[in-house]
Amino acid sequence: MALQDHSFKHSKYERPNQDWICGWSKEGWSCKIGPRENGSCRAASECFPIKKGDRWFCTRQESDGGPCQEGPLPAGNCSIPIPPCQPILSLRKRRGRVSFWTIVLTLGILFLILPYPNGSVLVSPGDIHAVHGNFGEQCERCHLTSSEHVAVPVVDGLSKAESIGDSQLCLSCHQFGVNGMRVHNQSPKALDAVTGRLKSIQGVPSPPLSLRVLNWLPDGFHAPSQSTACGTCHQEHQGKSSNLQSMDDQSCQVCHTIQFSGFGDGHPELETYPYKRRTRVAFDHNSHIDKHFLKEDKNNDFGSCDSCHGLSSTNQTMFTKAFNTSCAKCHTQELKGIGNEASLVFFRLPEIDLFSLGEKRIGAWPEDLKGDLGLEQDLTPFMRLLLETKSSATVPLAQQQLSTLAGDFTLLQEHGHLYDLESAGPEVLEASERIIWAIKNLLFELSTQGQQAIITRLKGKKISSALGRTLGNKELSALAAQLPIGVLQTAQQAWFPRLEEEIRIRRKANQESGRAVSDLSLSPAIFAQEKSSFSYDPSVIGENEDGDFDLERMLEGAASKNTGIGGDDIFTDDSIGDDISSQSFSEEEGADEEVSGVVVNGQESEEEDVDPAEVQERDKKREGGVSTGGWYHSNSDFSIKFRRSGHEDRFSYAWLNLANDVSSTSMNPSGSQLLAHLANSFGSGSCLRCHSLDQQKDENDQMFRQTINWSSFRQIPHYQPSTHFSHGSHFSLVSKEKTCQTCHMRKESEEKDWTKIWFEQNTNPLKYSSNFKPIAKETCSTCHQKNSAGEQCLLCHNYHIGQSSVKLVNQ
């Protein structure tokens, strides 16, 4: 049956878009006119009659039944009034009201939450990782405030996962050095070098499709700039136990030169891995294994790799066991030294060509070292370093003297030796004289001050400026090596019995001439020039009528002037005076020993007839007296020696370090000379024979860093290499078939003198041919595949390379 008549005469026009509708509509009828806009009822009657002539007519519409039968009232009012209603909201309006109150509710909640002191808890995008839990809800610990943010262009903003400024806050705890914000924490130059090397690799596979598509994007979009924000990779607010280091393999490759699908599919060969550099300790595996370890000897317990290598506590690396475990069994004796190789000559009087030096005044000098015996005995590098580094702290005009002495050494080296001055010119002869007096002064200071003389010189400005630091007490103690003053005094008494008088006279002369009292090396030429400048008495400085040195005359002159030996009036340098006056020459062992052929300007000592063989025998006895290491003097070659104690000898260690530091930081020739001397001492027992010397160029290729590798490879604390490998995790794979050599396959040695070539004659640690073949990629990829042991980049590679440490913070 039809419910509705849709003709306009019978169908009302519905207006559901109006806010209010007639309240009667619920009852099934509603007035035609409807409520007002404000929701009040305005209906009064069913029509508004109109007057035509003198009559009123009903105007009710057809749709409402047409004109009524009753018709309007006489006054013109409708006769059918409509009872007033309570208009109701339309459906649309009610929906609008609900929306409005929802908005109010939402805003209300937000305005209640945001100003709340702990509002950050509610607006935080999620829990931070437990390791950052100490920060609590303090957003400012990781985020700069809005005003601190630096405006960045849109593209840059999109290409960086987080503000660089925020990352600076990360670096306040996570410290990665000066390149902390850079890619891989490497300098652009270092990255360029790696990129250049990778670009040179041939046969690179084509990248996977996704990376090829990304390569079409402009560089700025997918390749990080020089500074990379931490949040690029580490996504925080992912929950307390989220993986902050999660990284897609392809993301790693976006910036990389070589792009591939997987480790087994396109990853470059491992090249020289893991033998990228030579070992710190020079060790020829081939010669040791073939010649010694494989011998069928019941005492040979070097049957396997773990005889010398052990797993580090981190389970990662295999370290080389200590000397006592690995090497001592065979190498102890040679490190103690045999014969002449057992000791280091610390101080030695050089042989002097007195015939060529002629009239020059050098004072007393042992007859056996006058240069006519062809000994070619020169001063030691230790002496040269100490002479050149005479302390300026207590000596006026020392810098002038230092520069003079350094120049003198250079001049002498260019034109001859102290033992051969035949062809030397006047300048060289003057330089030689100054050097000789400096040697005598050094011996004088050593014999009067002992270890302090060494320490004072090493603490001087020259060493400090060469090293860029001052030597510490521990280092100085090791360098002095408990040098007993008695040994020095005995030696001085034996070689220069009247050294003290000589020194005092020279200083007196200098004092009167207004020069530094310690400047003992004034040549006659200088004296001649300056004679008029001070009250010069030739007898005081031991000058005879011919202008030659005459000790007797000097002593007599001193006595006549009432400037007796030890007299206070001649000491202007209090420290030196105290040293001398407070220390008497002790009568220790050997102090009154006979010295063979000691002649002081032609006057032989009382023991001149002692047999040289006996002297040597006594020297040997003295050496034997310090069989576990120590100092002694040798009269046969006028030297003071140190006998090494064996492995880990403190003296050798300290002086090698000093020589290395001086020569590497300032290119100091005396440091280099000493280093070379120490390297060649002790023959096969030389420290540097095993402990390699690395020279490394810095980033600017300007300076080089020279390091003595005192220990084998050790994991540097807080240092991450570019790759890591867990030996411990792979030990379960070791079996009869699979041994260490499955991965570390020995290579037949191509060089006969392998150690000599790669260690003794080479200081570049990266220039190297290992005893082992590089590990083939297939060795790893057999197991490391996508669906077995895994082939993620981060399984072997570290992103952060170099120093890294975390500074813990309080809550």
Helix (H, G, I), strand (E, B) or coil at 449: helix
Helices 398-415, 381-388: axis angle to 10 degrees equals 140
8 A C-beta contact, residue 551 and residue 505: no
* HSE-up (13 A, CA, CB side) for residue 387: 31
> Between residue 481 and residue 540, which ones bind another protein under the rule CB under 8 A?
none
Phi then psi for 643, rounded to 5 degrees?
Answer: -95, 130
Interface with another protein (CB under 8 A), residue from 59, 238, 726, 742: 238
Helix (H/G/I), strand (E/B), else coil: 144: coil
Taking CB under 8 A as the criterion, the residue among 139, 173, 204, 795 binding another protein is 139
**Smaller CB distance to another protein: residue 173 or 254?**
254
* Residues 460, 389 contacting (CB under 8 angstroms): yes
Which member of 9, 197, 237, 718 binds another protein (CB under 8 A)? 237
> Using the rule CB under 8 A, is 165 a contact of another protein?
yes
Size of residue set near another protein by CB under 8 A: 71
In the list 44, 80, 204, 233, the residue contacting another protein (rule: CB under 8 A) is: 233
Minimum separation from the CB atom of position 248 to another protein (A): 6
> Contact region for another protein (CB under 8 A) — 152-160, 275-283, 627-635, 749-757?
152-160
Nearest distance, CB of residue 96 and another protein, angstroms: 8
Residue 196 vs 220, nearer CB to another protein = 220
Determine the Cα–Cα distance for residues 732 and 73; give it in Å rounded to an integer: 113
Quick check: 25 binds another protein (CB under 8 A)? yes
How many angstroms separate the CA atoms of 513 and 481, rounded?
Answer: 38
Of the two residues 250 and 657, which places its CB atom closer to another protein in the complex?
250
Please state the three-class secondary structure of 688-715 as a single string. HHHECEEEEECCCCCCEEEEECCCCCCC
Structure tokens at 187: 């300098």
Q: Does 107 bind another protein (CB under 8 A)?
A: yes
Examine residue 136 and tell whether it contacts another protein (CB under 8 A). no
- Dist. CA 447–CA 488, nearest whole Å: 5
Nearest residue to 655 via CA among 412, 436, 399, 380: 380
Could you say whether residue 103 binds another protein (CB under 8 A)? yes
d(C-alpha 620, C-alpha 626), whole Å: 10
Q: Which is nearer to another protein, 121 or 806 (CB)?
A: 121
What would you measure as the largest C-alpha separation in the chain, in angstroms? Answer: 177
Please list, in sequence order, all residues whose beta carbon lies within 8 angstroms of the beta carbon of residue 550, skipping any fewer than 6 positions away. 542, 543, 544, 601
Residue 98 binds to another protein (criterion: CB under 8 A): yes
The region of 141-149, 493-501, 612-620, 624-632 touching another protein under the rule CB under 8 A is 141-149
- Verify binding: residue 158, another protein, rule CB under 8 A: yes
Binding mask 78-97 for another protein (x = CB under 8 A): -------------x--xx--
- Which of 81, 157, 188, 472 is the binder for another protein (CB under 8 A)? 157
Whichever of 126 and 426 has its CB closer to another protein, that residue is: 126
- As measured in angstroms, the least distance from the Cβ of 662 to another protein is 48
Minimum CB–partner distance for residue 83 and another protein (Å): 16
Residue 244 within binding range of another protein, rule CB under 8 A: no
The rounded distance, in Å, linking the Cα atoms of 802 and 799 is 10
Note whether 590 and 606 are within 8 A (CB).
no
1 lies in the binding site for another protein (CB under 8 A): yes
- Alpha-carbon Rg for the chain, nearest whole angstrom, is 48
Which DSSP category does 310 fall into? E
DSSP string, 560-614: HTT--TT-GGG---HHHHHHHHH------TTTT---TT-EETTEE-TTTT--HHH
Structure tokens at 349: 């009087």
* Residue found by looking up tokens 């390091």 in the block: 707
Strand partners, 526: none
- DSSP characters for 176-222? --TTTTBGGG--HHHHHHHHHHHHT-SSPPPPPHHHHHHHTS-HHHH
Q: Determine which residue in the list 10, 51, 55, 149 makes contact with another protein, applying CB under 8 A.
A: 149
Stretch that binds another protein, among 124-132, 307-315, 365-373, 734-742 (CB under 8 A): 124-132
- Angle 512-518-524 (CA atoms, 0-180°, nearest 5)? 65
- In the set 46, 49, 78, 160, which binds another protein (CB under 8 A)? 160
3 binds another protein (CB under 8 A): yes
- Toward another protein, which CB reaches closer, 109 or 373? 109
CB of 99 vs another protein, minimal distance in Å: 4
CB of 146 to another protein, least distance (A): 5
Choose the binding region for another protein from 26-34, 73-81, 713-721, 790-798 (rule: CB under 8 A).
26-34
Cβ 217 to another protein shortest distance, Å? 7
Instruction: Please select the residue that binds another protein; options are 9, 26, 55, 531, rule is CB under 8 A.
Output: 26
**C-beta of 58: minimal distance to another protein in Å?**
22
DSSP 8-state assignment for residue 162: S
**From the CB of 235, what's the least distance to another protein, in Å?**
9
Classify residue 374 by its DSSP letter.
Answer: -
Cβ 698 to another protein, closest distance in Å? 31
| Residue 106 in the binding site for another protein (CB under 8 A) | yes
Please, which residue, 225 or 332, has the CB nearer to another protein? 225
| Residue 379 half-sphere exposure toward CB, CA atoms < 13 A | 24
Helix, strand, coil content of the chain in percent (nearest 5): 40, 10, 50
Question: In angstroms, what is the minimal distance from the CB of 84 to another protein?
Answer: 19
Near another protein by CB under 8 A: residue from 38, 69, 118, 146: 146
Nearer residue to another protein within complex by CB, 149 or 295: 149
CB of 229: closest distance to another protein in angstroms?
A: 9
Considering the complex, state which of residue 207 and residue 597 has its C-beta at the smaller distance from another protein.
207
Contact between 9 and another protein by CB under 8 A: the answer reads no
CA atoms of 215 and 207, how far apart (whole Å)? 10
Say if CB 349 and CB 495 are below 8 A apart. yes
| Distance separating alpha carbons of residues 269 and 286, to the nearest angstrom | 25
- As a whole number of angstroms, the distance between CA 804 and CA 546 comes to 74
Based on the shown chain and the rule CB under 8 A, indicate whether residue 232 belongs to the binding site for another protein.
Answer: yes
Identified binder of another protein from the candidate list 20, 43, 163, 499, rule CB under 8 A: 163
Residue closer to another protein by CB (options 149, 291) is: 149
Binding region for another protein (CB under 8 A) out of 81-89, 105-113, 193-201, 798-806: 105-113
788 forms part of the interface with another protein (CB under 8 A): no
Q: What is the length of the chain?
A: 811
Would you state the torsion angle of the CA atoms of residues 270, 271, 277, 282, taken in this order, to the nearest 10 degrees?
A: 100
Least separation in angstroms between CB 44 and another protein: 21
Cβ-based nearer residue to another protein, 218 or 514: 218
The answer to whether residue 64 forms part of the interface with another protein (CB under 8 A) is no
For another protein, which residue of 61, 175, 250, 452 counts as binding (CB under 8 A)? 250
Angle 266-272-276 from CA coordinates, rounded to 5°: 130
Site residues (CB under 8 A) for another protein, limited to 379-418: none
Among 164, 170, 395, 780, binds another protein (CB under 8 A): 164
Binding flag, residue 2, another protein (CB under 8 A)? yes
End-to-end CA distance of the chain: 80
Residues within window 172-231 making contact with another protein, judged by CB under 8 A: 210-211, 213-214, 217, 221-222, 224
Residue 430 burial (C-beta neighbours within 10 Å; 0-12, 13-18, 19+): buried
Instruction: Name which position in 248, 297, 648, 778 contacts another protein (CB under 8 A).
Output: 248
